[in-house]
Amino acid sequence: MQAGLHFWNFSVPGAPDTLPEVLGRTARTAEQGGFTQFTVMDHWFQMERVAPAEEPMLEAFTTLGFLAAHTHSMRIGPLVTGVTYRYPGLLAKIVTTLDVLSEGRAMLGIGAAWYDREHRGLGVPFPPLAERFERLEETLQIALQMWSDDNGAYRGTHYALEETLSSPAPIQRPHPPIMIGGQGERKTLRLVAQYAQIVNLTTADPERVAHLLDVLRGHCDRLGTDYDAIEKTVIAALSDPHDPDFLPQMEKLSALGITQVVLGASPDDPVGRVARVADEVLPALAKI
How do residues 147-181 score in pLDDT, each as one tens digit? 999 999 999 999 999 999 999 999 999 999 999 99
Q: Where are the beta strands (DSSP E) in the chain?
A: 2-7, 37-40, 75-78, 81-82, 108-111, 154-155, 160-161, 178-181, 198-201, 231-236, 260-264
Contacts of 204 (CB under 8 A, 6+ apart): 234, 235, 236, 239, 249, 253, 261
Q: What is the mean pLDDT of residues 249-265?
A: 97
The reported pLDDT for the residue numbered 237 is 86
Helix axes 60-68, 19-33, angle to 10 degrees: 60
CB atoms within 10 A of CB 283: 11
Q: Is residue 50 over pLDDT 90?
A: no
Q: What is the mean pLDDT of residues 96-120?
A: 97
pTM of the predicted protein model: 0.96
The DSSP-derived string for 62-120 is HHHHHHHTT-SSSEEEES-EETTSS-HHHHHHHHHHHHHHTTS-B-EEEE----HHHHH
CA 128 vs CA 1, 74, 157, 240: distances in Å? 37, 35, 15, 36
- What is the average pLDDT score of the chain? 97
Residue 246 one-letter amino acid: F
Q: Using CA atoms, how far apart are residues 133 and 15, in angstroms rounded to an integer?
A: 35
